[in-house]
Each structure stands twice: as structure tokens, then as C-alpha cells.
Amino acid sequence: MYVAVKGGETAIAHSIDLLADRRRGDRTVPEVTLQQIDQQLSLAVDRVMTEGSCYDRELAALAIKQARGDLVEAIFLLRAYRTTLPRFGDTLPIDTSRMVAERRISSTFKDVPGGQVLGPTFDYTHRLLDFALMANGETAAAPTAPVDASRDLPRVGDILEREGMLEPPPAGDGAPAQDITRQPLTLPAARPVRLQNLTRGDEGFLLALAYSTQRGYGNNHPFVGEIRFGAVPVSFVPEELGFDIEIAEIELTECDMVNQFAGSHDIPPQFTRGYGLAFGHAERKAMSMALVDRALRAQELSERANSPAQDEEFVLAHSDSVEASGFVQHLKLPHYVDFQSELVVVRALRAEVEARVQQAAE
Amino acid sequence: MPDGAYNYAYLDEQTKRMIRRAILKAVAVPGYQVPFGGREMPLPYGWGTGGIQVTAAIIGQDDTLKVIDQGADDTTNAVSIRRFFARVADVDTTTRTEEATIIQTRHRVPETPLQEGQILVFQVPIPEPLRMLEPRETETRTLHALSEYGVMQVSLYESIARHGRIAKTYNYPVLVNGRYMMSPSPIPKFDNPKLDRNPALQLYGAGREKRIYAVPPYTPVKSLDFDDHPFEIETWEQCCALCGSKASFLDEMIVDDEGQRLFVCSDTDYCEERRK
């Protein structure tokens, strides 16, 4: 005889304990520290900060540790913490031309003011497993050139823009940008809202969409005007002071994508831009974002818009990994009431068909 | 306050105020989906974040909370949400429908009739009743503005043409107060009649989609149908194997390898009370 299952609460508590146990793994292996994650898995930390919309390396490292390295779960943890934090106000807009760039390349010009700076990147490596790392050998310090932090590093896009070859960045309306973590997304969305959504959006989703534009689903003929990675100062004007003070320095990756544009009835042919920005070092993310940003400008530029990456509602509504992961996985929750309703109706429909078949046979 | 790191009921007071404003608007315009600045909750989207935010915005220390999923108090997610509020809101919890001032639910309306003063909080995955017929939000908002609901009537008609009956079994669309078409959340259509002129306040929260809507007490809620195909609810030949009820929604269980089946009440509190 079936008896309604009680004790769910105890089972859940045990499940949570078991998860903590498995996270720790073999106790004879030293526990990983937050500093180790921050220093040696720094690109994971960067991704969690970017999609978690919270620049805090230590909290991101904690989230990664707690999530057992599952970055989407870590992003979720960081976001759920971020949402409880009080807001003191908005910082001044950052100026990436003040970036002390550790890496800066342009694929549109052989040389640019400030030069091509390769910096640390996987781009020029051969993807051969380095078995020396298995032996825990120390890595010698790399030689670095002295950095001139006193001079601004002009953006390639700005240089093209002065010549009229590249459109200026689409003008804002001067109003403070809507914060999509505090206000619901309404459509059609303003570009600041779109860019926020894309920065928080899942890297894999944006990568696939960006890739689809290159394969003909809304091609926008892109060139990397510039990618730069480095530290940028952040300034804030406290109400009681009335002037700005520098409160932090954050690392950013910025991508200015330059795209062909045939021109329209009113606008001469010129290049247009798509923009990508991410915390830390995240070139794949910044480039994908820039391509999708440009794709989403199709309507504004009177282009045909019939590909997924150009469909604002499709892209913005499905980009968020925390939303997507939650809703996909909610299918694990019990659905037996709905399923029972379906059973009742499917049985009735089957009975009708069987009766009809039998009647025809007689 | 049991957990000093967070505000009472988790959300900060500004956020609660914002949600309460959305709730008031929703009550003022029954069935209309009010966009609200849904926050990220420490539970996953799709697992009741909308309901949790609504509950967090209205709960106080005098409240008694009941949480059900599929009608049962002891399903994993109901347990998880109840523990969440016991932790962050220091609130009494109960499994008794009569004792609760707030009942948060997923997929069911309790069998025990609700009273004035009680609040039923629904967790809603997809608030837009027309979403599966028209995926674009910009379009569906226009359809609501114009009360242009023909597309749903056509879909129900197609079901009759194909199956000889309306084969939609849960999340069955309703018309609230003769104006807005509303998704009752994925409750079985068995529960739809309970929404009509219910003395309790019904609040619906969709966290991922960031919408709140409401049915105030005693508001007419009509399940869509046709004159020649009136709305019908599920019926069972069996009665509950535990309490013998013939009036409740029954869950079916497979009890052995031969596929023997047993039917029991989905509403565990109702079933237990009847067995006392």
C-alpha cells in the first residue's frame, strides 16, 4: 500500500551535505584557495565577473570554488549576491582611451598610433598540451616592455571617424541609461539596454550567434577595428564632495568592430560599428558581442533583418544563461499534475479512436 | 532576524515597495500583466522566483505560510521554498490550508475552499497566454490592448476539429472580469472553476519574464469555450485510494512492475484531513 512520502526535508538536507562533500573531493588533496583561482584560473574569474555583472575578483573566485568550477552556476551565485547590494550611485563613464593597454591590436591597419601590442594571448600558441605543467615546474617571469601610462592611447575607430569613414557612435538621448538589473526589459530596446544585455549574455550563445552572421545569416562584413585589453581608472562623484575621485582601476576588454555599409538613400557609404565590452580579458566574448550588436542594428540602418542574430526579441530574450539554465532545468521539477491531465485526455482520445476502428471492422 | 546578512524576507525595502506597487496595479487591472523590475533570487529561474518575490513583498511576521508544489507540501521545491522563508522571514509555516494566510503554489489550487483574507500566490513560468501562438511580446501586448483574442478561439476550434473536443488540459486560458485573457499558470483545468469569484486574493508572479498579475477577490474568471462545446474538467472513474474522495484531483502512481496503478489525491493536506 502506498503511503505518501514524508521526510523530503531530511533527504534534501542530506543532498546538500553530499554536494558539499563532493565539492571538496579527496581530502588528501590540498584544498584550492581563492587566491589560486584568482591567479591561475583568472580567465574563468573574468567570465564570471562579466556575466555576473559584478567586478570583484575575490567573490567571483569564491563563486567558482563553491560551484565546483561550473561557471554558469558561479555566475548565478554572484548575481544572487549582487542583487542584494545597496547602490551608492553611478560612476562617471569610463574612458578606454585612458587604458594602460597590455594588449592592443588592429586588423584594419598594419600600424596604428600606439602600435600593435600583442600582449598575453593564446592566439600565437600551438595548441599542444604542455606536459611540463604536469610536473609543476615553475615558470620564469616574462620580460615586459616599460609601459607609458602618461599618454592616452587613441582608438583606431576615433581616427577613422575623424575622416568621416566611420560613423560616430550612435548618439544617446542624454538620459541616464536604464539599468536592466532593476527595470524589466521592454521592447524595442534602446541600444544601452541591448549592450547591457549582451555583456551579461552567455558567451556561448553570443559566440554561436556571431558565428551565424559570418556564415550568411545576417552577414555584416566585419573587420576588427581594434581590440584592447588593460586597466582603466574608474571615477565617482560623491554627493558630499561634488568633484570626482578615482576609486578603482578595473581591467577591461574592448572590441570596436568596423563593418561595411553600402549606404542608403540619405547616407553615403561608410563604415559602421559594433561594440563589445567585457570585464577582464575576454576577447571571444567582446568580439561576439560586437558582431551581435552590429547585427541588431539592422533595422536602424534600414537593412534586411531576417536572421536570428538580427532579431532583437529573439536575441535579448534568450541570451541570459541564468534565466535559460533555470528554465531548462526546471523540467526536473515534478510535473505529475500536468502529466496526469494529459494522460486523462490522451486515454480518452485513444479510446475514441479504438472504438471507431472496431466499429468499422464490424 | 535569523540571517543577519540579508534584509527581512531577503529583498531590500525599496525592491519590496516596487513589487507592491506592481501588485497594486495588477489588482486594479485584473488579469493585466504588469512588468516589474524582477530581481535575481537565490533560487533558479523557473523554480518559482516570481512567486517568491511576490511572497517576499507581502509577507510579515504575523503571517503563516503554506507552500505546495503539485498540490503537495512535501515535494522538493515546496520544501526548499518553505525553508527559504522560514530562514529569511522568520515566519510560521503550516501544511494546513485553513491556517495559512499566504499559500504559495505551483500547478495546483487547494481543494479546500479558500477564505476571505487569504492570499494565493502562483508561480508562473510563461505569463503570456498567447505566447505559444505568437512568440513576440510586441505583438501580444497589442493583441491585449485591443482585446483581440480570436487567435486563441481559433486554436481551441482547431483542437475540436482535430480531436472532437478541446484537448488542452492545463494552463487552460481564462478571461478575467470580461476583459483580459490570462494564463492561470500550469494548473490542471480541473482547478479553473476555483479561480472564479474566489474569496481569496490571487497573485501571479513570473520572475524570469518579470510580470505580475492578479485576480482580486470575487472577480469573475471564465474558462474559454464554445456554446456547443462547453468547458469541462477532468473526471476519474476511480476515487482516492487513501481517503476515498471522488471530488479531488487524483495523481496516478505505478506501484509494481506489472504497471498496477493507484490513484490518490494530489492535495496532500486535503487527503490527510479527510483521513483523520
Low-confidence ranges of chain B (pLDDT < 50): 1
* B188–A4 CB contact, under 8 Å: no
> What pLDDT shows up at residue A7?
57
| Burial bucket for residue A135 (CB in 10 Å: 0-12, 13-18, 19+) | exposed
> What pLDDT shows up at residue A3?
40
Catalytic residue check, B271: yes
Tell me how many helices (H) and strands (E) chain B has.
Answer: 7, 12
- In chain B, residues with a C-beta closer than 8 Å to the C-beta of A79 are 40
Range of weakest confidence among A215-229, A264-278, B72-86: A264-278
- Per-residue confidence at A359, pLDDT binned at 50, 70, 90? very high
What 3-state class would DSSP assign to A258? strand
- Which residues are within 8 A (CB) of A87 and not within 5 positions of it... i.e. 6 or more apart? none
A338 interfaces chain B, CB cutoff of 8 Å: yes
Amino acid residing at B109: V
B16 interfaces chain A, CB cutoff of 8 Å: no
A16 interfaces chain B, CB cutoff of 8 Å: no
Which A residues, 45 through 64, put their C-beta within 8 Å of a C-beta on chain B? none
A188 interfaces chain B, CB cutoff of 8 Å: yes
What would the mean pLDDT of A291-320 be, rounded to a whole number?
93
B117 interfaces chain A, CB cutoff of 8 Å: no
Amino acid residing at A26: D
- Which of B136, B186, B268 has the CB atom closest to A313's CB atom? B136
- Which of A83, A328, A337 has the CB atom closest to B107's CB atom? A337
- In chain B, residues with a C-beta closer than 8 Å to the C-beta of A335 are 70, 107, 186
Is pLDDT of A278 > 70? yes
What cell numbers appear for B90 in the block?
522568520
Q: Considering chain A, what percentage of its residues have pLDDT values greater than 70?
A: 98
- Best to test chain B binding among A19, A75, A193, A340 (most B CBs inside 10 Å): A340
Cα A184 from chain centroid? 19
What is the rounded distance in angstroms from the CA atom of residue A37 to the CA atom of residue A69? Answer: 10
Q: What is the 3 state secondary structure string of A161-215?
A: HHCCCECCCCCCCCCCCCCCCCCCCCCCCCHHHHHHHHHHCCHHHHHHHHHHHHC
Amino acid residing at B52: I
* CB-CB neighbours of A199 under 10 Å: 22
Residue B26 near residue B34, CB atoms below 8 Å: yes
> What pLDDT shows up at residue B4?
67
What would the mean pLDDT of A289-303 be, rounded to a whole number?
92
End-to-end CA distance of chain A: 42
Q: What is the 3 state secondary structure string of A314-342?
A: HHHHHCCHHHHHHHHHHHHCCCHHHHHHH
Strand B250-254 and strand B261-265: pairing? Answer: antiparallel
* A9–B74 CB contact, under 8 Å: yes
Residue B184 near residue B25, CB atoms below 8 Å: no
Catalytic residue among B38, B50, B207, B271: B271
Query: Nearest to residue B224, comparing CAs of B189, B173, B190?
Result: B173
Residue B113 near residue B191, CB atoms below 8 Å: no
Enter the pTM of the model. Answer: 0.89
* A343–B208 CB contact, under 8 Å: no
* A336–B70 CB contact, under 8 Å: yes
Strand partners, B69: B72, B106
Which single residue is written with the C-alpha cell 512520502? A5
- Which of A5, A9, A80 has the CB atom closest to B40's CB atom? A80
Catalytic residue check, B239: no
A269 interfaces chain B, CB cutoff of 8 Å: no
What is the rounded distance in angstroms from the CA atom of residue B86 to the CA atom of residue A284? Answer: 43
What is the rounded distance in angstroms from the CA atom of residue B73 to the CA atom of residue B51? Answer: 16
- Which residues are within 8 A (CB) of A133 and not within 5 positions of it... i.e. 6 or more apart? none
DSSP string, A3-62: -----HHHHHHHHHHHHHHHHH--TTSPPPPHHHHHHHSHHHHHHHHHHTT---HHHHHH
Q: At what angle do helices A42-51 and A191-200 cross, to 10 degrees?
A: 140
Rounded to two decimals, the ipTM of the complex is 0.84
> What pLDDT shows up at residue A4?
42
Catalytic residue among B31, B51, B71, B207: B31
What is the rounded distance in angstroms from the CA atom of residue A19 to the CA atom of residue A35? Answer: 23
* B234–A326 CB contact, under 8 Å: no
What is the rounded distance in angstroms from the CA atom of residue B44 to the CA atom of residue A72? Answer: 12
A299 interfaces chain B, CB cutoff of 8 Å: no
- Per-residue confidence at A207, pLDDT binned at 50, 70, 90? very high
**∠ Cα B135 B136 B137 (to 5°):** 120
> What pLDDT shows up at residue A1?
35
Domain ranges of chain A: 9-82, 96-120+153-167+185-319
Residue A245 near residue A235, CB atoms below 8 Å: yes
* B189–A83 CB contact, under 8 Å: no
Q: What are phi and psi of B119, to 5 degrees?
A: -125, 130
Mean pLDDT estimate for chain A: 90
What would the mean pLDDT of A85-99 be, rounded to a whole number?
89
Residue B266 near residue B241, CB atoms below 8 Å: no
Half-sphere exposure of B243 (CA within 13 A, CB side): 20
**Helix H or strand E segment including B250:** strand B250-254
Catalytic residue check, B31: yes
Query: Nearest to residue B242, comparing CAs of B263, B224, B222, B216?
Result: B263
What would the mean pLDDT of A118-128 be, rounded to a whole number?
92
DSSP string, B22-73: HHHHHHHSTT--EE--PPPPSS-TTSSHHHHHHHHHH--TT-EEEEEETTBS
Smallest CA–CA distance, residue A320 to chain B, in Å, is 10
> What pLDDT shows up at residue A6?
53
* B75–A182 CB contact, under 8 Å: no
B152 interfaces chain A, CB cutoff of 8 Å: no
Smallest CA–CA distance, residue B89 to chain A, in Å, is 15
Is pLDDT of A192 > 80? yes
- Which residues are within 8 A (CB) of B111 and not within 5 positions of it... i.e. 6 or more apart? B71, B245, B247, B248, B249, B265, B267, B270
Would you say how long chain A is, in residues? Answer: 362
> What pLDDT shows up at residue A2?
38
- Which residues are within 8 A (CB) of A189 and not within 5 positions of it... i.e. 6 or more apart? A197, A312, A316
Q: Considering chain A, what percentage of its residues have pLDDT values greater than 90?
A: 57
* B137–A313 CB contact, under 8 Å: yes
Per-residue pLDDT reduced to its tens digit, A226-252: 999 999 999 999 988 889 999 999 999
* A188–B163 CB contact, under 8 Å: no
- In chain B, residues with a C-beta closer than 8 Å to the C-beta of A10 are none
- In chain A, residues with a C-beta closer than 8 Å to the C-beta of B108 are 337
Cα A250 from chain centroid? 17
Query: Nearest to residue A310, comparing CAs of A183, A216, A204, A178?
Result: A216
Which single residue is written with the C-alpha cell 536570428? A308
Is pLDDT of A261 > 80? no
